[in-house]
Amino acid sequence: MVDLPEHDQKTRTSVELFAGGGGLAMAVDRAGFRPLLFNEYANYACQTLADNGAEPVPAGEQPEIPKPGQPVPLVPGDVQKLDMTYLEGEVDLLAGGPPCQPFSLGGVAKGDEDKRNMFPHMFRAIREMRPKAVICENVRGLLRPSFRDYFKYIQRELELPFMLRRDDVSWQEHDRVLQREHKAKTLPADERYHVVVMPVNAANYGVPQVRQRVIMVAFREDLNINYTTFEKHVQNYPFSEAALHRAMRQGDYWQRFEEAGCPVPDHVIERTMARLPEVITEVDDQLKPWRTLRDAVTGLGTDERLPALPPIDRKKLDRKTNQGGKITDHIGWPDARIYAGHTPNELDRPAKTVKAGVHGVPGGESVMLLDERERDTAKPGGWRYVHRYMTVRETARVMTFPDEWKAAGPRGERMRQLGNAVPVVLGEFFARAVAEALANAGK
């Protein structure tokens, strides 16, 4: 994978299922885990993984455990046909985001009845590999009242993955069995997992995007992990909206763009400041300001300083001219519109949630309001701010992918991969917390 630390210096290992474009896989690698296997079903996503360093395994062949420094084996295709028993005892961390369509509004929210529900195969992977820890990311839709009971069942299955559900048994019946075992604890500790469920907003963890998700982390119970310490770690998120408001009011926010050579026009500052709340909530001095879309496009959207993305020439919204120089995928796209229910991103807020959408362009989430304005007497103040579609590269920065990341397929497919991904910075925060918990337990 692109932009990853050197594999041969890593002692902990990982496997990534439902790898998509590689956001969580990259995050886990950056946190110090050496990947042993990727699996992904979608063809374009598989090509993306291969273009970024993974090595596809020929159909019908069994992947081998890579030695340090070797490419990560990628098994394209249906996870239901993937045999992972050869990895038993070799994996420290299993990571993945089972397809979220069964639990999202965009996917009609069929839940357990939806054939795309891949949680059972996460549990099968646990049985076959017995990893020390598991990270599972999914949409907030799992927390909706209509899914509450089923989500509790998913948690109990993750706690007790070795208690198989027969095909002729309903999930409600199986759930009652799991609840009895949860109390009795008759299974050995190495076949039980302690599960931590975290509703998260990615913006609170340094992602320049408001993205509401659920992250489940499970630790094998024979490892003597300090769960209290782990939970405090992941709950103490380092960024806040109030800190952003304070930085704007005190001027620090605007000053950093001046120092980066990307000054913000006075009329934009005035407009933004006028919208700040009159009273800013008291802010812990340890909390950093939320990162914004402007941070992302000017190269300040992660801890790693990146070059500012060149402005898009709106006369070249031609679907083909790369305007990023050496930075790829910075291509203008025409016909962006804003209207009721299709409102744009603003530069001085975190971006709206990047969504996969039906065609990779789901709505206002892909449109951005620019600093440029034009005279329009019909608008308040006599000005109209210009808008356009975000480029794939701008969207990738909002998802905290490095500029070296290559996406395969047409624009819609690239945007779909980004919308389905785990932001790298968010995944890395949780993967590092898992690594620290294992280290503190001597594992």
Instruction: Please list the active-site residues.
Output: 100
Distance set, CA 260 to CA 309, 413, 437 (Å): 12, 33, 37
Phi then psi for residue 28, to 5 deg, are -65, -40
pLDDT at 134: 98
Give the confidence band of 115 by pLDDT, cuts at 50, 70, 90.
Answer: low
pLDDT at 365: 76
Closest CA relative to residue 198, chosen from 441, 433, 436? 433
Closest CA relative to residue 198, chosen from 248, 233, 162, 242? 233
Q: For residue 110, is pLDDT > 70?
A: no
Q: For residue 129, is pLDDT > 90?
A: yes
Separation CA 240–CA 283 (nearest Å): 8
Architecture of domain 7-237+418-440: 3-Layer(aba) Sandwich (3.40)
Percent of the chain predicted with pLDDT > 90: 79
pLDDT at 5: 43
pLDDT at 28: 97
295-316 tens-digit pLDDT: 999 999 999 999 999 999 999 9
Give the confidence band of 108 by pLDDT, cuts at 50, 70, 90.
Answer: very low
Q: What is the residue-averaged pLDDT of the chain? A: 91
Q: For residue 157, is pLDDT > 60?
A: yes
Question: What pTM, to 2 d.p., does this model score?
Answer: 0.93
More confident residue, 171 or 346: 346
Q: For residue 363, is pLDDT > 60?
A: no
pLDDT at 116: 57
Q: Quick one: angle between helices 266-274 and 241-250, nearest 10?
A: 130
* 78-89 average pLDDT score: 94
pLDDT at 360: 43
387-427 tens-digit pLDDT: 999 999 999 999 999 999 999 999 999 999 999 999 999 99
Q: Quick one: angle between helices 148-159 and 171-184, nearest 10?
A: 50
Least confident range from 107-121, 159-173, 334-348: namely 107-121
Q: For residue 7, is pLDDT > 80?
A: no
Tokens of residue 280, six digits: 């800013």
More confident residue, 327 or 343: 327
pLDDT at 229: 97
Least confident range from 69-83, 145-159, 189-203, 415-429: namely 145-159
pLDDT at 128: 97
Least confident range from 216-225, 273-282, 385-394: namely 273-282
Least confident range from 7-21, 160-174, 420-434: namely 7-21
Contact 98/136 with Cβ under 8 angstroms? yes
**Triad 365, 359, 353: Cα angle to 5°:** 25
Give the confidence band of 364 by pLDDT, cuts at 50, 70, 90.
Answer: low
